[in-house]
Amino acid sequence: MTAITASEEIVLEQPCPIRDVLDRIGDQWSLLILEALAPGTLRFNALMREIGDISKQMLSRTLKQLEQDGFITRTLYPEVPLRVEYALTPLGHSFLEPMQQLVAWADTHHRTIVAARLQYQASQT
């Protein structure tokens, strides 16, 4: 079938655990979403505003992925107009801990990296 599967299939598992996890949250948006939800529950449009430059498309897709993987919960309130709230699960919260270490590292060493790039560029004449 060359056709794109309409209801996107769920890939259950990849060989390497770390790859499996990083492939999922290593995209452009997952991490941003998780951190946006760290302070507390948010609705779809609130997330849009919070993140700023994400498209509805990608927010929707990524939220679904994160829900699949158990990082967040999606709660539908069948009111009019519709209300949907997203929140971190305990798994999602626990993930942010090691992640904060990385964020801290990035903040600390960012200038070093930029400097390295400048130096490399200069060394290439």
Structure tokens at 56: 């509805």
Nearest distance from C-beta of residue 92 to a copy of itself, angstroms: 10
Is 44 within 8 Å of 81 (Cβ atoms)? Answer: no
Nearest distance from C-beta of residue 69 to DNA, angstroms: 14
State which residue, 2 or 110, has the beta carbon closest to a copy of itself.
110
Please give the Cα distance from 9 to 81 (Å, whole number).
Answer: 30
Tell me the one-letter amino acid at 84: V
Scan residues 56-75 and list those touching a copy of itself (CB under 8 A).
Answer: 67-70
Rounded alpha-carbon distances, angstroms, from residue 38 to 53, 63, 67, 71, 76: 19, 14, 15, 11, 20
Q: Which of 1, 4, 6, 12 binds a copy of itself (CB under 8 A)?
A: 12
Q: Which of 20, 31, 35, 43 binds DNA (CB under 7 A)?
A: 43
Scan residues 78-117 and list those touching a copy of itself (CB under 8 A).
Answer: 91, 94-95, 97-99, 101-107, 109-110, 112-117
* H-helix segments, the chain: 17-25, 30-37, 44-51, 56-68, 90-123
Q: Under the rule (CB under 7 A), what is the footprint of DNA? A: 6-7, 27-29, 43-46, 53-58, 60-61, 63-64, 74, 76, 81-84, 86
